[in-house]
Structure 1
């Protein structure tokens, strides 16, 4: 009972924090065409959320990141804690490629849209990928994209099959892929529950994977093996 009351109390403050920071983030997004200011706003929000919920981050491999390089960042996904953890851990500007359904979420969807993130309609197949490619080309120089190649959170923390979209975008744009493994987030907040537990989440940044001149399937298998090997 005590744990439930504590969770409700923290969720209340999390909701209040969302309302307080929502308007500044949207205002920053509308004031700047690049979305960079809004991204910094989401970093503040992510820091507050993780502190509030008792989440600690341990990051390794950040030396593999070239801050001037545009990457297609691909990560496993098992928890709602994954996005704020990545925003803080990577230390570089990027935009999310997000399923279009999230655009309809009150407040959250507006913040995502005004922050220059890219929405994908997965029902449109190749047309959707072409739209994302055009969106990537219009991002500020050095700003990459982040995708969850599984497409959704896994129930047990284990990897789901990888969809090919992110790999096609990287290959056709001749962009390197930055594989990232998130470890421990499923234990903190599993899919299907609002009950979380404070603790450690590890972010492991792997060396970039080149895509130019390579088959999509070959790259996909390499990246999946790299991410899975660190779980």
Structure 2
């Protein structure tokens, strides 16, 4: 089955990019949401990098009364003690991100020079897709998020990405995805042997300047292959 490419905003930090960061936005936003972050990063610390900000498909979201918005998957419950994400939507979005990875491969950027990144829902898709991707990636950047479909990871995890660097960050005042809920996902991955770097910040469901500086440091460390 052929997966159509998602529309996306692209920003290159230099000519002929040698690395790529595919960065997914949160619920109800679009690819422009994190465009300003690129300007906050020091290009001299990174190789020529193509930042790809795809726009999620439009779909009805149950917790928002079925209102149609950009979403990587449906959220069927506000209860954090049960599964909130629609598995079919997660799998569909993962396939679409895999298609974007394949496009970067076709443009000359191998898997081990690609980071999957995302915020909130987008971070959930970054985690889900990267941990199951069959080839070694450069890293996973997951902000203000959690691990979806965690109960299937053991059976589906890719051996190639068992040691992929993971940076997870969360606001201690987050009321959208509670900090402790996100931290449980981090603890789950760390207990599974994944090399996790966890950061907490004095913020709500957002990014802060300190976090951007830490992201820059982390990207400078993984975009080196």
Q: Tell me the TM-score normalized by structure 2.
A: 0.31
Quick check: which one's helix share is greater? Answer: 1
Q: Tell me the TM-score normalized by structure 1.
A: 0.30
Quick check: which one's strand share is greater? Answer: 2
Structure of higher RCO (CA pairs closer than 8 Å, 6+ residues apart): 1
